[in-house]
Amino acid sequence: MSSLTSNQHVLDWVKEMEDLMTPDKTIWIDGSEGQLRALREEAFKTGELTELNQEKLPGCVLHHTAKNDVARVEDRTFICTSNKADDCAMINWMEPTAMKAKLTPLYKGVMKGRTMYVIPYCMGPVGSPFSKVGIEVTDSIYVVLNMDIMTRIGIKALRQLGDSNDFVRGQHARADIDAENRYIVHFPEDNAIWSINSGYGGNVLLGKKCFALRIACYQGYKEGWMAEHMLILGVEDPSGHVDYVTAAFPSACGKTNLAMLIPPEIYAKKGYKVWTVGDDIAWMHVGADGRLYAINPENGFFGVAPGTNEKSNPNALATTRQGTIFTNVAHNLTDNTVWWEGLDKNPPEDAQEWTGLAVDGKEYVAGGGKLAHPNSRFTAPATGCPCLSKEFNNPDGVPVTAMVFGGRRAKTAPLVYQSFSWNHGVYVGSSMASETTAAAAGAVGVVRRDPMAMRPFFGYNVGDYFAHWLDMGKKLGDKAPKIFHVNWFRTDDEGHFIWPGFGDNMRVLMWILNRCKGEVDAVETAIGYLPHAEDIDITDLNGVTLDTVKNLLNVDKDLWLEDAKGVEELYDQIGDHVPAELRAELNALKDRLSK
């Protein structure tokens, strides 16, 4: 197929990719349903995809990756800039010229005998001044079809780009799926991403974490906006007014569940609703009125399947029921559907596990005794989400009232508290941490620092990233969102969770929004503003009393002083780029705790 654009910058780069990787043919992806349908049919014939039961799961397909290629590979993920200061804690850095010399031979002739697909795509609503365009070349139909769900692909993306040279160049080749030569490499100064020897989602859907976080956070740093690992949700009150909240959580802390929260009955009866704008990433800019506005750069959801069910997240489950690509889940051969651990309590007996091998009804061949891989995924169009916000495609984004940070802490962090100021809130975000659980590898209860939930996704020096947050606060002034911290995971002495979580987290969101509106007082403590226990609505909440809430809001000064040492260690690891303002916030916290 001939090219879809007259943009010479694009044409020159695609020609460069053809000369390097020498595909047998090149197909430009126009985004038409006819072209996508033909690609699906081709993938069914080769076995790359399996068509599922079209009555029960219309438009849904199943894919298996290689057994050695099932997750993001942080040790193989690099940031390559000319700034040696980017070689800091939490960043795997290499000098760009050296990396290009290392990788270029791997790409030479790598698509011989294969087709190169050229995917123009738009991150964010088409027509938004805040959206950005990327072009990914790939030899994988799986990538094309996933990018169609996760981004806005084809001619409309090229229209958004026009004649500009401001696009992210993404080159992906499956090569031999060789784990020893697997690299996911970012060149922020060149607006470029190189991915080779992987076929797994997060490593090859280059619009996702690669562009929307690692490259975009660098773009935001240079251009004066923010790209953050944050969900965006709207809370609609009975009068129809909607307040928007962004929130950052490390993995396994209930981020998707909060993004698609279903209000408890006491709020639903009054007419409250919760709307999903985004489940994973927020791009935020200062609007014409001086407030912070957020768009979701993505167009779909790339979620973890295990644990998703009618109870934990009915909205997410409903979203997967049409037009979804399932990756590394089990194949229920009885009715040609899919299954994963936690979907229900009835694993299929006539099934193929995630590796594609048949199960004899008694034991699974795959490691860990799981039918579905623990990191198995669904790629689902946002349009299938029952609680999708009508502002999802608003080119201006939505105004952010509150920002929330959260972690998994058994004893340290209270249920909720508010920062004293924007700078204090940046400190709170920078000190975010979670404790390892029994489900994670290694020891239980080890604290892993994950600033702003960005640990795997920084695109430049982490201290400079903190400084950018402080600069955004100066820009926003008194129009800045209020910053809060939550912890759904406090446990009793037997290790049981005290707070019920899930939909009942809305009770905490309501206190947060009431604080933003100045409708409720708070208690000033050493760590921030805490609720009066009676201001957390526990109506109809079985087993939770006022004393329970008081316990959830308790602050143990010794634990906090111990935690402050951990933050100091983190800052020392990051080095001299940590802003003086954050070290001052840390010292002020220690002083308050010591009094």
Show which residues are catalytic: 253
Residue 394 annotated as part of some ligand binding site: no
Element (H, E) at 563: helix 557-574
Residue 442 annotated as part of some ligand binding site: no
CB 492 within 8 A of CB 498: yes
Residue 203 annotated as part of some ligand binding site: no
The values of phi and psi at residue 183, to 5°, are -140, 135
Residue 195 annotated as part of some ligand binding site: no
CB 411 within 8 A of CB 556: yes
CB 271 within 8 A of CB 258: no
In whole angstroms, what is the distance from residue 183 CA to residue 171 CA? 11
Question: For the chain, how many residues are written?
Answer: 595
Residue 502 annotated as part of some ligand binding site: yes
CB atoms within 10 A of CB 327: 26
Residue 253 annotated as part of some ligand binding site: yes
In whole angstroms, what is the distance from residue 59 CA to residue 149 CA? 12
Residue 503 annotated as part of some ligand binding site: yes
CB 243 within 8 A of CB 187: no
CB 168 within 8 A of CB 132: yes
In whole angstroms, what is the distance from residue 431 CA to residue 419 CA? 13
Residue 80 annotated as part of some ligand binding site: no
DSSP string, 478-515: GGSPEEEEE-TT-B-TTS-BSS--GGGGHHHHHHHHHH
Q: What is the largest CA-CA distance in the chain?
A: 72
Residue 202 annotated as part of some ligand binding site: yes
Residue 504 annotated as part of some ligand binding site: yes
Residue 487 annotated as part of some ligand binding site: no
Q: Which of 516, 518, 517 is nearest to 482 (CA)?
A: 516
Residue 421 annotated as part of some ligand binding site: no
Tokens for 28, please give them: 């430009």
Alpha-carbon distance values, 456 to 170, 221, 453 (Å): 19, 17, 8
Residue 254 annotated as part of some ligand binding site: yes
Residue 227 annotated as part of some ligand binding site: no
Residue 209 annotated as part of some ligand binding site: yes
Residue 255 annotated as part of some ligand binding site: yes
Residue 121 annotated as part of some ligand binding site: no
Residue 2 annotated as part of some ligand binding site: no
H-helix segments, 7-150: 8-21, 33-46, 96-107, 141-150
Residue 146 annotated as part of some ligand binding site: no
In whole angstroms, what is the distance from residue 447 CA to residue 433 CA? 6
Strands of the 377-381 sheet, one edge to the other: 50-51, 61-63, 325-327, 377-381, 300-304
Alpha-carbon dihedral 91, 97, 101, 107, rounded to 10 degrees: 70
Residue 557 annotated as part of some ligand binding site: no
Element (H, E) at 203: helix 201-204
Half-sphere exposure of 537 (CA within 13 A, CB side): 18
* 3-state secondary structure string across 176-196: CCCHHHCEEEEEHHHCEEEEE
* 3-state secondary structure string across 256-288: HHHHCCCCCHHHHCCCCEEEEEECCCEEEEECC
Alpha-carbon distance values, 567 to 170, 322, 465, 473, 553 (Å): 36, 44, 16, 21, 21
Annotated binding site for substrate: 72, 200-202, 251, 375-377
Annotated binding site for Mn(2+): 209, 229, 280
Annotated binding site: 72, 200-202, 209, 229, 251-257, 280, 375-377, 408, 502-505
Annotated binding site for GTP: 252-257, 377, 408, 502-505
